[in-house]
Structure 1
């Protein structure tokens, strides 16, 4: 009969038990999941049962992790993702969330750019942990990604992006996520990329502060090379700060638009 073991399909003997499978495929597994539920007692398997064998703290091999991603994304989607490089300009509330989401789906490479360090005030909306306080954001995010998907290639650049260096920094990526706090930096990046390159695409954001409706966060196509995400109104100000819910909604709009572009979908 056919069963799934760690997302791969196998044929096993009739009346095979879960512990038979564990002993055959992963003797040192600490956790056994049957059809989505952890079990402690042995059971006889049925046709099409799904078994997941986990050793706590063990890093899956690249082959195992890729197979798990393929089983979720389907092969054609994952093949495109693992070949793509994406740049992220700024690793604050937007950039750190985008980096994590793209890492989880198995993006091939990330070029992460920031010059700042992790401060206590960042923890209300950014994807850092207390242990990262005082670390460069580039180093902290590289560490986090290694614990999410160690097979994503990560290039970090501890730099302040200016008109003079932006083209060199992102010369090897086709999609750039604009994730700055500063309107001046946003404008400089967008202007340089759109006027001095022919095919690079920017996914930018504007208006994500406060606790306003989630439904006002939208993805807007300005043209084939520029997408703007947010409500375009609610920037941070007194009584309407940047907080995790709306910031992460906006960031994941950005990550999803990046995914759509990789898959050839240019409409929002």
Structure 2
């Protein structure tokens, strides 16, 4: 089972951290962005890493959790021409984009391939009581409050972490990592 993560910011970096801490030893992820000081309130990065590429730095941080892990990363800006190729070998894909147009692009390009997709919707604002997990068919899962867009609401570490934790739980469950 190969797990891919599209985006290495608040959702992506935290899902990756949760998965590695849960025993997942191989992840494939990509992002083109660099770490900014404004990211540190909710992302798995540190002050001395400001200015570095998120995907490369995430791989290094995950190695600090499990030095034997294999973290296949690329500094990449996903588009319709490269997203299918990048995630072609992945069975589960975590959608961790900030922008709606990237979320739509991922869904349009990857959903028809019958891969399991786990997405976030509504991670802005402070409150966590309305976070839900929705299953749409057998291959699409969406986690969030479905209302508080990050364009209109500030993001907080605890809410991003709760959503990322639930997303990681779905990966573990659907990927066969969960021991009953």
Instruction: Please report the TM-score for the alignment, with normalisation by the length of structure 1.
Output: 0.64
Cα deviations by residue, 1:193-233 (Å, 9 ceiling, x for unpaired): 112x1x31100010011112x22111110111111110100
User: How far did residue 112 of structure 1 move?
Assistant: 1.2
Q: CA RMSD in A?
A: 1.4
Tell me the equivalent position of 2:63.
146
- Equivalenced residue count is 178
Tell me the equivalent position of 2:171.
258
5 Å matches for 1:218-257?
218-238=132-152, 240-257=153-170
Q: Is the 8 A contact 2:7 2:31 kept in 1?
A: yes
User: Where do 5+ consecutive residues of structure 1 fail to align?
Assistant: 1-83
Q: Is the 8 A contact 1:106 1:152 kept in 2?
A: no
Q: Is the 8 A contact 1:207 1:234 kept in 2?
A: yes
5 Å matches for 1:1-268?
84-195=1-112, 197=113, 199-212=114-127, 214-238=128-152, 240-263=153-176
User: How far did residue 264 of structure 1 move?
Assistant: 8.4
User: How far did residue 180 of structure 1 move?
Assistant: 0.2
Runs of 4+ in 1 over 4 A off after TM superposition: none
User: How far did residue 171 of structure 1 move?
Assistant: 1.1
User: How far did residue 236 of structure 1 move?
Assistant: 2.0
Cα deviations by residue, 1:40-71 (Å, 9 ceiling, x for unpaired): xxxxxxxxxxxxxxxxxxxxxxxxxxxxxxxx
User: How far did residue 154 of structure 1 move?
Assistant: 0.6
Structure of larger gyration radius? 1
